[in-house]
Structures are given as C-alpha cells and as structure tokens.
C-alpha cells in the first residue's frame, strides 16, 4: 500500500498559525473531517468526498482536542482558552452543552458505556495541577476531578476493560483510569521520554514518544516492541481494515505508516510540510489528511495498492 497525494485545500487563516487534533464523522451521505484550528479559535469542517472546505464552527478559544463517535452522533472539543468542554450532536452540528473543566484542557476520551467524557487538563501554568475532569453527558455536570501525576497528552478508551488510558509526558507513563470509580487504578511505565500520541489497537497500546520511538505495550506494561521514528511525533491514527498505524511528525514534516499486525514494522515515510503534526483519517475513503500550519491548508493522501 502507498500513500498518494491527491488534494491540497486552502484553509482561511487565523490570527495565529496552528492546528491540533482532528477526527472524522462518517455517515451514508459521506464523511466530514473536523480539525481544531487552534490559532483561529474555531473548528474547521471539510467534505471528504469532494475534498473541499465547508465552513467553521466559531467560538472555541484555543481549541485543542476533537473527538467524534459517529455511531453515537457525538463530537467533543476541548476549548483550552476557555477551560471548557463543548458537546455537539455532530450530524447537524448542534451545540448541546458547554461544561467548565480544569485549566487548559487538551486530550479527551469518551466512555461510550456510561456516556461520560474525560478531559485531560494541563493546569496553570502548564504542568502544574494537572487533572482529568469527568463529565456526565446526560446531565452535563462534572462528576469528578482526578489529580494526575504530570502533564497529560492524548488518551484512549477501552470499552472491554472499562478503562481510559492517558499518556503522561513526565514522568513518562500511561495512567489507567477506572471509569466506574473513576480513579487511577494503576500506572504503566513507558521506557521512552515524553509519551505523546496514543492508540489502542487490538488490546495493545501504541505510544509515540518525544524521544522518537513508537513503543508498543500490552495493558499490563510488558513491552512488545520499540520502533524508531524519524523525529518527534504527535498524533497517532489507525485503520482497522488495513491494520495500519499512521504517526505524524511535525519536523521535518512527515507521516510514517506502520503495519500493526503481530510484528509491527515500518512500511512507508511520506513528506507533508514542516510543522504538520496534526493528521486525521477517513476510514470510509481510506484517506489520510495532514494539516499544514505554514501554508494554512489540508493535504489529502489516498491509501492505494
């Protein structure tokens, strides 16, 4: 399989450059890509089939995290500049609620069993007083604030284990939150500095670290493999059908793809643009979207044989 560049889309600039997390809404009518345009305080929306910019959802100061569950018709955003979680019905982009959380929320996870959101808050100043805020999306109220051992990055929910796994940059570890309590049940040490991007794949944790590694661990912390990366990574995306993992590297501007089967291995390295550390994946069209802050655009790659 090879990633082939098929489109470049201009995005209206914000007051500052910078994109953060992206996610996709899939439906019979087609897919829409949503990206946190942090420098513009908005969420940008694209039509995937036509590779066109549609519009923006304004009023999200410093928006960082975007998480979508198409089956549940939910989109969550972490509005870092407002210390707030925004909750949408994504199919028609109706804003349902906005809930105050901890300072500088970044990552977010969704407990689909209990319909609870977990934000991962950087604190103020960043790295001080870090928390996870637990929100009941039925009542839009805060249930709990859980103290974290350090600055959080991205997180992933495991329905079978009823747990949320969250990367902590320092000390380098993954905290395991019991969604029933909710409390930190245990901590998994990561033998590589700066855990950042995270994906849960077939019961294994694929953790991309600032030290330039993709570390694969089981949920008990046993290391399955360690693979070198071409730079400091950020976002990790996964396609179940292809058993493919994609890691975004902002400098020098690359995406590296890996086989996620029993013996993970590097498959391909594709150039994007300097600073492009945000990617999104459309599982319906098998397209990878990279967001480029310098040129203020989206670059679309088609996965093909």
Cis peptide before 182 (omega within 30 of 0): yes
- What is the mean predicted confidence (pLDDT) over 100-115? 98
* Amino acid 232: pLDDT: 97
When the pLDDT of each residue in the chain is averaged and rounded to a whole number, the result is 96
Q: What is the pLDDT of residues 192-214, one digit of tens each?
A: 999 999 999 999 999 999 999 99
Report yes or no: 123 and 103 within 8 Å, Cβ to Cβ. Answer: yes
- What is the mean predicted confidence (pLDDT) over 235-252? 96
- What is the mean predicted confidence (pLDDT) over 61-81? 98
The distance between the two most distant Cα atoms of the chain, rounded to a whole number of Å, is 48
* Amino acid 304: pLDDT: 82
Share of the chain above pLDDT 70, in %: 99
- What is the mean predicted confidence (pLDDT) over 106-132? 97
- What is the mean predicted confidence (pLDDT) over 170-179? 97
The model's pTM is 0.97
Domains, the chain, ordered by start: 20-242 (2.130.10.10)
């Amino acid at each position: 399989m090879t990633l082939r560049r098929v489109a470049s889309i201009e995005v209206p600039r914000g007051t500052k450059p910078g994109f953060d997390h992206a996610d996709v809404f899939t439906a019979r009518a087609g897919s829409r890509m949503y990206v946190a345009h942090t420098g513009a305080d908005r969420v940008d929306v694209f039509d995937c089939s036509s590779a066109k910019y549609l519009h923006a959802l304004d009023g999200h100061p410093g928006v960082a995290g975007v998480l979508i569950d198409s089956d549940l018709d939910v989109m969550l955003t972490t509005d870092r500049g407002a210390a707030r979680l925004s909750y949408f019905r994504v199919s028609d982009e109706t804003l349902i609620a906005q809930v105050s959380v901890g300072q500088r929320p970044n990552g977010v996870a969704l407990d689909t069993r209990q319909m609870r959101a977990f934000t991962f808050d950087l604190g103020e100043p960043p790295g001080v007083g870090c928390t996870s805020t637990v929100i009941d999306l039925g009542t839009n109220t805060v249930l709990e604030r859980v103290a974290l051992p350090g600055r959080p990055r991205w997180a992933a929910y495991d329905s079978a284990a009823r747990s949320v796994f969250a990367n902590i940059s320092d000390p380098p570890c993954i905290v395991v939150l019991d969604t029933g309590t909710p409390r930190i049940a245990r901590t998994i040490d990561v033998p590589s500095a700066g855990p950042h991007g995270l994906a849960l794949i077939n019961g294994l944790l694929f953790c991309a670290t600032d030290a330039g590694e993709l570390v694969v661990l089981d949920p008990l912390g046993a290391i399955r493999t360690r693979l070198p990366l071409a730079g400091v990574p950020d976002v990790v995306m996964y396609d179940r059908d292809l058993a493919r993992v994609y890691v975004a590297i902002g400098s020098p501007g690359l995406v590296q793809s890996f086989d996620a089967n029993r013996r993970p291995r590097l498959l391909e390295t594709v150039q994007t643009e300097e600073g492009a550390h945000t990617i999104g994946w459309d599982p319906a069209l098998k397209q990878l979207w990279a967001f480029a802050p310098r040129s203020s655009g989206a670059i679309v790659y088609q996965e093909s044989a």
